[in-house]
Amino acid sequence: MSISLNETHDVALRSWVASANLAGSDFPIQNLPYGVFRGKNNGEAFRVGVAIGDRILDLRAAFESSAFGGFGEVVHKAIVAATAGSNLNPLMELDAAAWSALRMALSALLREGSVHQSQLESALVRQTEAEHALPAQIGDYTDFYASVHHATTIGKLFRPDNPLLPNYKWVPIGYHGRSSSIAVSGQQFRRPVGQTKPPTSDTPVFGPCKRLDYEMEVGVFMGQGNAIGDAIGIDQAESHVFGLCLLNDWSARDVQAWEYQPLGPFLSKNFASTISPWVVTIEALAPYRAAWTRDAADPQPMAYLDCADLRDSGAFDVQLEVLLQTKSMRAAGMAPQRLSLGNFRDAYWTVSQLVAHHTVGGCNLRAGDLLGSGTLSGPTPESAGSLLELTAGGKQAISLASGETRIFIEDGDTVVMRGWAGGDGLPRIGFGEVAGTVLPARSL
């Protein structure tokens, strides 16, 4: 399950791209995440790139430069072909050995002292001069419910005496989401409309959502899939995962409260989801693994959801931050304000468990499929991953530095999410950020 450390993880490595060596950079040479980009407003086709410092290495241009010539046996034709298109799907379809080989070559070429610096400098693009598309064509999207802290807090709002349903600690809960409304960071979308049922009304009403919320999640991009009818064992699950991104799964809480009985989320979730442009590979996160534990008083996972490697290093120590910038804050030049800080390590169900459970019945996953972790909340109030939790179900307003207050998201608000691993002398492995802005509902 866990990937062994190798020379690409060496904390002493530095890049000839000077900005990659700056303290606090999300994209040092130990990271090398993948994305899809093009120059802003130039009309060119999108292409595959790798983030390094404040630059993007254009992989197509890098291969054409012949800098990879010395890696002929390692970076074979399949890898070159897989990175020549406008999305990451062909690269995701390769195996973990190919991903690791490309990472090793990139690390060597971008290191300080590389003889290929002059060949690759022209293949670099400033991130500030680029725009992004979705990293992959997402065929299917499944959203899980992996945080017991979130599930318990939400459950207490509706079932104070019995917040967790009896199946939660036995089975990873999920639902099939809508892939067509997933967009990359910078997404602007209209406030959704739908049916809601106010507590003071005997019948539902139709109109704009009044309880719009965000959900701080981690997205899991699948690599090689499985044949229909087969299952991916938990000990092999992460070899089928290409990498992780940040995910904001916007939610219309009032629409959800009315429609989710008995089948679950529908219009309350299908209007917009926003992901970060960069996909951080599982290999890049190898030094930031953490032991995964299950409280002895809780049911232990069934055999298909448990293994020794899971217990030893199945969790990821990734900090998750949520910030809010209102329209007036933006106009006044005020920076976004932090609302919460949590950690992916606190998830009740892990990446490998989500993959193993998703396929155990024979469901076939495919390269580019996206799994959402569900809202990730920690054990403390300030680590809650949604406004529904931070405001105690809408009862306690949050005060902002601008003098404004928020219970739920209002028109013009921008929600920014950031994620990173680091600490203890290790490089910061960042995900960049995912930002989304809410526009007024369309006229009815």
Which residues are identified as catalytic? 150
Nearest to 130 by CA among 278, 25, 247: 278
First to last CA, the chain: 51
Nearest to 321 by CA among 419, 426, 431: 419
Q: Which residues 6+ apart lie within 8 Å of 358 measured at CB?
A: 142, 174, 365, 371
How far is it, in rounded angstroms, from Cα 197 to Cα 257? 8
How far is it, in rounded angstroms, from Cα 62 to Cα 165? 52
Question: Tokens 């010539």 belong to which residue?
Answer: 69
What is the residue type of 329? M
Secondary structure (3-state) at 257: helix
Nearest to 279 by CA among 377, 133, 425, 112: 133
Task: Give the Cα-Cα-Cα angle 6, 30, 344 (nearest 5 degrees).
Answer: 95
How far is it, in rounded angstroms, from Cα 61 to Cα 56? 11
Q: What tokens were used for 106? A: 């990139």
Question: Tokens 């040479």 belong to which residue?
Answer: 29
How far is it, in rounded angstroms, from Cα 277 to Cα 36? 7
| DSSP 8-state class, residue 441 | P
